[in-house]
């Protein structure tokens, strides 16, 4: 994979996380009943970063869970890849919660759709919202994010690489082909 350009460095990523955290608080008039659910793998450290920022701002802990969705495809850009729920245990009771799904990249929407199905199957959340660091377009389903770090127009053959501390050695986003 050839690296084309940096889209976000560590500082830009942290600023985006700070803004998204403020937006989550504002949209929900606080964080009572809000629970963050990171989509594995890189949505998990991003959800933890948002939770830490919300704690800084509001002085309250927000519930953080995770969900494991696996994409089956020969290559990232292949159309019609399948998103399968690998582990849907959120780690908390979803009933009555405002769930904010957190992922690194929103592309076709299949991963989010699988996560929505899995969550709706196991409880009655009050609502489900979506936060993504990068929206790269090319949706195949009627899914949109409520909170977006950065909209990045891409061609289908390009690949967005998100590197997040906790999984990777540093924080950055690049576009590659």
Ligand X SMILES: O=P(O)(O)OC[C@H]1O[C@H](OP(=O)(O)OP(=O)(O)O)[C@H](O)[C@@H]1O
Ligand Y SMILES: O=c1cc[nH]c(=O)[nH]1
Is residue 39 a contact point for ligand X (CB under 6 A)? yes
Quote the DSSP letter at residue 171. -
Binding to ligand X (CB under 6 A) within 57-86 occurs at 71, 83
Is residue 41 a contact point for ligand X (CB under 6 A)? yes
In angstroms, what is the minimal distance from the CB of 122 to ligand Y? 25
Is residue 112 a contact point for ligand Y (CB under 6 A)? no
Q: Which of 62, 118, 131, 159 binds ligand Y (CB under 6 A)?
A: 159
Is residue 160 a contact point for ligand Y (CB under 6 A)? yes
In angstroms, what is the minimal distance from the CB of 61 to ligand X? 25
Is residue 115 a contact point for ligand X (CB under 6 A)? no
Is residue 54 a contact point for ligand X (CB under 6 A)? no
Contacts 24+ apart (CB under 8 A), 11-17: 12/150, 13/133, 13/149, 13/164, 13/171, 13/172, 13/173, 14/49, 14/171, 16/133, 16/149, 16/150, 17/46, 17/49, 17/50, 17/53, 17/133, 17/149
């Amino acid at each position: 994979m050839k690296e084309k350009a940096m889209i976000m460095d560590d500082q830009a990523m942290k600023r985006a996380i700070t803004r998204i955290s403020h937006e989550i608080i504002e949209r929900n008039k606080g964080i009572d009943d809000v629970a963050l659910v990171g989509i594995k793998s890189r949505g998990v450290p991003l959800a933890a970063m948002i939770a830490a920022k919300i704690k800084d701002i509001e002085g309250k802990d927000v519930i953080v869970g995770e969900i494991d969705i696996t994409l089956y495809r020969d290559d990232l850009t292949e159309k019609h890849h399948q998103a399968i729920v690998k582990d849907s245990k959120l780690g908390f009771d979803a009933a009555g919660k405002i769930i904010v799904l957190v992922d690194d990249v929103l592309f076709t929407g299949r991963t989010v759709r699988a996560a929505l199905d899995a969550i709706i199957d196991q409880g009655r959340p009050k609502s489900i919202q979506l936060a993504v660091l990068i929206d790269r377009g090319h949706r195949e389903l009627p899914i949109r994010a409520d909170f977006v770090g950065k909209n990045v127009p891409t061609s289908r053959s390009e690949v967005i690489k998100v590197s997040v501390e906790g999984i990777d050695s540093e924080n950055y986003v690049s576009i590659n082909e």
